[in-house]
């Protein structure tokens, strides 16, 4: 399965995915896309010899489709990608785009809910647990069918940074598991947290 990964920042989820997808894995990252030419994740991909593309206009579905078709992409993974996917891309790749969100959707999701703000909201709510969600992507932020979740406890003394780090570990397990499950089934399917590495 040919996988495109869209990033906006440091790319720790991309790293976790690349670590899981060894040479005999049923899925391969064939291109890394970003809305930010300076995203560290792009550098990480280029250092591994993976083709990259920084959009001139991330809202232009034609730029997306040109890159996805050029690399015969089967699955699009949003990993720390912070913009909406153009509706023209959703239409052509419906049910083949997944996103990882650092909270237990449907709570604590939606426009503007990313990064530190998510964990601040979880802590402010008094929730006893948080976690990561992988879901199908549609035209809105964080709304598509949930494919799987990995739960972590909220602990006494947690601040946003400590909770973020605990949730990020869960993301790094859940997203690769979701990609492996999609590769085995030929399309995104419900996923459970246990993941075996394909190194
Ligand atoms: C992660 O918390 C991810 O869930 C969110 O963006 C954050 C950064 O991810 N969407 P990464 O380190 O750039 O993969």
Supply the CATH number for residue 31's domain.
3.40.50.170
Q: Which of 101, 119, 135, 172 is catalytic?
A: 101
**Domain assignment present for 106:** no
Domain count, the chain: 1
Query: Which of 47-52's residues contact partners 24+ apart within 8 Å by CB, and which partners?
Result: 48/18
Ligand 1 atom closest to residue 101's alpha carbon, by position in its atom list: 4
Other C-beta atoms within 10 Å of 23: how many? 7
**Domain assignment present for 108:** no
- Distance in Å, CA 11 to ligand 1 centroid: 7
Atom 2 of ligand 1, residue of closest alpha carbon: 102
**Domain assignment present for 21:** yes
Q: Structure tokens of 113?
A: 């809910």
Atom 7 of ligand 1, residue of closest alpha carbon: 80
**Domain assignment present for 145:** yes
- The phi, psi pair for 27, rounded to 5°, reads -135, 150
For residues 32 and 5, the answer to whether their CB atoms sit within 8 Å is yes
For residues 121 and 108, the answer to whether their CB atoms sit within 8 Å is yes
> Residue 150 forms beta bridges with which residues?
132
pTM of the model: 0.95
Coil, helix or strand at residue 78: strand
What's the confidence (pLDDT) of residue 198? 40
Domain that holds residue 54: 2-100+134-150+173-185
Mean pLDDT on 67-90: 97
What's the confidence (pLDDT) of residue 88? 97
**Domain assignment present for 27:** yes
**Domain assignment present for 165:** no
What's the confidence (pLDDT) of residue 199? 35
- Distance in Å, CA 108 to ligand 1 centroid: 15
**Does position 196 have pLDDT exceeding 60, yes or no?**
no
Residue 67 banded pLDDT, cuts 50, 70, 90? very high
Is position 119 annotated as part of the catalytic site? Answer: no
* Alpha helix ranges (H) inside the chain: 12-20, 40-47, 61-70, 87-92, 116-125, 160-185
**Domain assignment present for 61:** yes
**Domain assignment present for 96:** yes
Name the one residue in this structure whose structure tokens are 């494919």.
Answer: 147
């Amino acid at each position: 399965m040919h996988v495109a990964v869209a990033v906006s920042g440091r790319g720790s989820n991309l790293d976790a995915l690349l670590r899981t997808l060894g040479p005999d894995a049923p899925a391969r990252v064939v291109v890394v896309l970003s809305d930010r030419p300076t995203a560290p994740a792009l550098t990480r991909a280029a250092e591994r010899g993976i083709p990259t593309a920084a959009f001139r206009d991330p809202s232009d579905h034609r730029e997306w489709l040109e890159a996805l078709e050029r690399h015969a992409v089967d699955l699009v993974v949003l990993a720390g990608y912070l913009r909406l996917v153009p509706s023209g891309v959703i239409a052509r790749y419906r049910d083949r785009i997944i996103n990882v969100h650092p909270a237990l959707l449907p709570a604590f999701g939606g426009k503007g809910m990313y990064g530190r703000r998510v964990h601040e909201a979880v802590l402010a709510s008094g929730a006893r647990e948080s976690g990561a969600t992988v879901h199908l992507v549609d035209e809105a932020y964080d709304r598509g069918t949930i494919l799987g979740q990995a739960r972590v406890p909220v602990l006494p003394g947690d601040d946003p940074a400590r909770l973020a780090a605990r949730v990020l570990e869960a993301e790094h397990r859940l997203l690769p598991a979701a990609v492996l499950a999609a590769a085995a089934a030929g399309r995104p399917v419900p996923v459970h947290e246990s993941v075996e590495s394909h190194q």
